[in-house]
Structure 1
């Protein structure tokens, strides 16, 4: 009799251990990452609510004058095309007119490729935008770069349009004195 109960007890114990180790959904999900759509965007973890509101107004002004806060890239490239250069020209003019504004340029990639490859490519994309702005007179000391690789997609999906939206560099305003 004891021999027949042993497999049953083992199975019950394994089921109990497995269910105890199962991952549970968090009670509350963290906020969405900062995006270029401006919904919650600027100053994530920077300054007070008043400063965030001020930065959002400045971001909207920059986008209206420069045309966008985001430049796109082709697959596996960090080369700025004509459209990207035109947007960055507008950003440079705006930044020169607002010398107290500091920015972070975020480099992003689509979902293809390894994490390491995409982090390196995202950094090259952010640095391409930074170097362009610097060549137009924006002080390098006002700019930081960060690469998110494929970790913060702008568009979900594996279709051509979604992949294209994720290959980008985004200029994010982080402070204004």
Structure 2
């Protein structure tokens, strides 16, 4: 394919313009990278100097007191439960078991008396744990679940509790 001299000059000019454009784009990208690097550095400084201290201050001012109060409340609830509720439940279970044992003993004596009349001796052996043990275990599990539920309710996130105070207007914004 043969080109005229005029076409060759036009193609050379076009190639030269394309190369110039390519070099300009490379320069532009290099400058954009330098600006992006500087912006990243400035964001890091801003984070260290402004954002991190405000977050730390907010944590110490709002979150930490709430967590400490929640911990004290959970400890108080645990002490109350262990000191008041568990002994009362244990006492009630013990009383119920005593009544059941007394009734069983009376029944056993009556049965033994009737059997003695027929001159046959009957020996009653206890086989394993009774119903009182099962009830005590079930009540213990229910009590433990209640404590875990109270602790969970105490520590769960509640967005309405953490309402931040409004910040006062800065003097620069007023002027």
TM-score normalized with structure 2 length: 0.27
Structure with higher strand content:
1
Of structures 1 and 2, the one with the larger relative CO (CA 8 A, separation 6+) is 2
Structure with higher helix content:
2
User: Based on CA coordinates, which of the two structures has the bigger radius of gyration?
Assistant: 2
